[in-house]
Structure 1
């Protein structure tokens, strides 16, 4: 059981959550009420979709992953699993930095680039969740996996709100996946129920807040 829980934890590594979310909203064939940016991601050109995925891969997977490896090699952290609460602070700060850089990069693109607001808001939500988790981690070992799954569900949920037909199956699958990931963290005794609950709420609320209030 613990081997399966460990495998699930690696498949749903927090670094991968933004990519999973992007793939869902970019390639989910849904009907929208209009052609407003946040409602028409499926209609984007394939080349544009690939550019978004590549950009997020660089800033939310490759760069943070490389930074984690460097921290491990110079023994700033003792494990890539970040089991110690104290060891999490530097990686979380690094993740916050990369999310901020990604958001600013998207924000200051030319208007002709027509970057959907929900994509920018998602990056901003990631920065907000990372920043808040940095300060919360000083008090409790909040679950980064839970934050990532909460953010993933919150992002897809807010994307689905204005659609003429809500993707119930996809949202239900994400709720199920969230339950499986959070259960895996509990089985591994990496976190308490309180830590995964607060983590999921933080991730979900950060995405909902940033996307709802984004201009």
Structure 2
């Protein structure tokens, strides 16, 4: 059980959950009641989908991941697990920074690029949750895995709202996987129930608010 919990923790690392969310909205074959509402992400050209995935891989996975490795090598953090809340401050700040850089990159593309608003809003939601988590972490630990899974569910949920037929199986699957990941974190004694619950709520609320109010 311990090995399974560790595997789940790595597979659903907070760095990877935005990629999973992007894969779902880009490749889930669903129809919307309004072209503008969901911007028909499934119908985007394959090359455009690939570019979105590449951008997220570079800014959300590779760049922060390499930064964590550098922090580990210069002993700013003692392990990639970042068990103490003090060690989490710099990595969380780095995550916030790269989310902002990605958002600015998307914002300053040519108007004819037609970048879907929900994707830009997701990046804003990620920056917001990481920013809030930074200040929470100064006082107490908060589960970044919980935050990642909450963000994933919030993003997929908001994407499904304008659809003609809600992808209930996908929503349920994301919800169940989130529960399993948080259970794994509890089993590993990495967090308390309060910490994983707070992380999940923060991630979910940040995505819902940013996507709902994004122009």
TM range (shorter): over 0.9
Q: Secondary structure at the match of 1:15?
A: coil
User: Are 2:113 and 1:117 equivalent residues in the alignment?
Assistant: no
Partner Cα separation in structure 1 for residue 120 and residue 77 of structure 2: 31
Report the Cα distance in structure 2 between the residues aligned to 1:63 and 1:165, rounded to whole angstroms. 37
User: Structure 1: where are the runs of 5+ without partners?
Assistant: none
Q: Distance between the aligned counterparts of 2:52 and 2:83, measured in 1?
A: 32
Aligned equivalents of 2:18, 2:58: Cα separation in 1: 11
The RMSD of aligned alpha carbons is 0.7
Alignment of 1:160-175 (within 5 A): 160-175=160-175
Q: Which residue of 2 aligns with 1:52?
A: 52
Deviations 1:7-65 (A, max 9, x none): 11001011000000000000000011122162400000000000000000000000000
**2:44 maps to 1:30:** no
Asked if structure 2 preserves the Cα contact closer than 8 Å seen for 1:150 and 1:201, the reply is yes
**Pairwise mapping of residues 87-98 of structure 1 onto structure 2 (< 5 A)?**
87-98=87-98
Distance 2:39 2:114 in 1: 13
Aligned counterpart, 1:18: 18
Paired residues in the alignment total 215
1:140-159 equivalent positions in 2, closer than 5 A: 140-159=140-159
- Superposition misfits of 4+ residues, deviation over 3 angstroms: none
CA contact (8 A) 2:38 2:163 kept: no
Q: Distance in 1 between matches of 2:140 and 2:147?
A: 14
Find the aligned partners of 1:70 and 1:54 in 2 and give their Cα distance.
22
Q: Distance in 2 between matches of 1:69 and 1:37?
A: 39
* Alpha-carbon contact 1:37-1:116 (below 8 Å) kept: no
Quick one: distance in 1 between partners of 2:193 and 2:21? 25
TM-score normalised to structure 2 length: 0.99
DSSP 3-state at the match of 1:14: coil
**Cα distance change on mapping 1:65 and 1:85 into 2, 3 Å:** same
How much has 1:149 moved relative to structure 2?
A: 0.2
CA–CA separation in structure 1 for the residues paired with 2:207 and 2:125: 5
Equivalence map 1:74-93=2 (5 Å): 74-93=74-93
Q: TM-score, normalised by structure 1?
A: 0.99
Moved more, 114-123 or 36-45: 36-45
